[in-house]
Structure 1
Amino acid sequence: MTVKIKTYKLQNNETRYKFHIYIGTDPLTGKEKTTTRSGFKTKKDAKDAYLTLQQEVRNGTYGTVAKDTYGEVYDLWLEQYENTVEDSTLLKTKRIFQNHILPAFGSYRIANIDGAICQKHVNQWSKKLKRFSMVKNYAALVIKYAIKHGIIDKNPFELVEMPVIKSKISIDDDDEEFENFYSREQLVQFLSYLQEDENIKKQTVFRLLAFSGMRKGEVFGLRWSDIDFETFEIRITKAVKRGEDGLYLGTTKNGKSRTIKIDQETMELLKLWRIEQDVFFSAKKINTKTKKQLVFSNTFNALQDPNKTVLWLSDLLKQHQLEHITTHGLRHTHCSLLFEAGASIKEVQYRLGHSDVKTTLEIYAHVTQKTKAGTIDKFTDFLNNESDEN
Structure 2
Amino acid sequence: MTRRLTTTIESYQLKNGEKRYRFKIYIGLDPLTGNEKRTTRSNFKSQKEAKFALSRIKLEIANGTFQKQTPEKYLDVYYLWIKQYEKTVEESTFVKTSGIFRNHILPAMSDYKIEKINIDVCQKHVDEWSNKLKKFRTVKSYAAKVLDFAIKRGYIQTNPFNHVDMPVALKKKQASTEEKKENFYTREELIEFLNCFEKENNVKAYTLFRLLAFSGMRKGEALALTWKNINFNENEIHINTAISRGKDNQLYVKSTKTGIARTIKMDERTMAILKEWRKKQKLDYFKLGFNTMAANQLVFSNEYNDFLQPTKTRKWIIQIQKKYNLKEVSTHGLRHTHCSLLFEAGAKIKEVQDRLGHSDIQTTMNIYAHVTEKARESAIQKFENYLNI
TM over 0.5: yes
Match of 2:188 in 1: 185
Q: 1:69 aligns to what?
A: 73
What amino acid sits opposite 2:75 in the alignment? G
Question: Larger radius of gyration, structure 1 or 2?
Answer: 2
Counterpart of 1:222?
A: 225
Q: Displacement, 1:295?
A: 0.5
Gaps of 5+ in 2: 1-27, 41-56
* 2:367 equivalent to 1:363: yes
Partner of residue 330 from structure 1, selected from 328, 334, 340: 334
Q: 1:49 to 1:143 in 2, by over 3 A?
A: farther
CA distance in 2 between counterparts of 1:156 and 1:267 reads: 55
SS in structure 2 at match of 1:234:
strand
Contact 1:66–1:109 under 8 Å retained in 2: no
Find the aligned partners of 1:57 and 1:312 in 2 and give their Cα distance: 72
1:12-23 pair list within 5 angstroms: none
Residue 281 of structure 1: which of 274, 278, 285 is its match?
Answer: 285
How far is 1:60 from its partner? 6.4
SS at match of 1:305: coil
Distance across 1 between alignment mates of 2:287 and 2:158: 65
- For residue 262 of structure 2, what is the aligned residue in structure 1? 258
Q: Equivalent residue for 1:107? A: 111
Report the TM-score, using the length of structure 2 for normalisation.
0.82
Is 1:96 matched with 2:100? yes
| Corresponding residue to 1:145 among 149, 154, 159 | 149
d(CA) in 1 for partners of 2:307, 2:31? 49
Q: Distance in 2 between matches of 1:291 and 1:130?
A: 43
| 1:61 Cα deviation from its structure 2 partner | 8.1
Could you tell me whether the CA contact under 8 Å between 1:71 and 1:102 is conserved in 2?
A: yes
Residue 375 of structure 1: how far off its partner (Å): 3.1
Sequence identity percentage: 49
Cα distance in 2 for residues equivalent to 1:119 and 1:57: 43
3-state DSSP of counterpart to 1:259: strand
Aligned to 2:31: 4
**Residue 297 (structure 1) aligns with:** 301
For residues 371 and 55 of structure 1, do their structure 2 counterparts lie closer, same or farther at Cα, with a shift above 3 Å needed? farther
CA drift at 1:325: 0.4
When the two chains are superposed, the root-mean-square deviation of aligned CA atoms in Å is 2.6
Provide the C-alpha distance between the structure 2 equivalents of 1:361 and 1:368, rounded to a whole number of angstroms.
Answer: 10
In structure 2, the residue corresponding to 1:82 is in which secondary structure?
Answer: helix
Corresponding residue pairs, total: 341
How far off its partner does 1:273 sit?
1.2
Task: Show structure 1 runs of 5+ residues with no match.
Answer: 7-18, 20-42, 386-390
1:116-167 residue CA offsets vs partner (Å, 9 max, x unmatched): 0100000000001111011000000111111111112221112211012453
Q: Which moved more, 1:244-253 or 1:65-74?
A: 65-74
1:56/1:111 Cα in 2 relative to 1: closer, same or farther (>3 Å)? Answer: farther
Are the aligned partners of 1:237 and 1:252 in contact in 2 as well (CA < 8 Å)?
A: yes
**Structure 1 contact 233–259 (Cα < 8 Å) conserved:** yes
Q: Match of 1:83, SS?
A: helix
Preserved CA contact (<8 Å) 1:66 1:152: no
Q: Is the 8 A contact 1:74 1:142 kept in 2?
A: yes
Distance in 1 separating the partners of 2:328 and 2:174 = 23
Q: Is contact 1:183-1:333 (8 Å) kept?
A: yes
Distance 2:29 2:352 in 1: 62
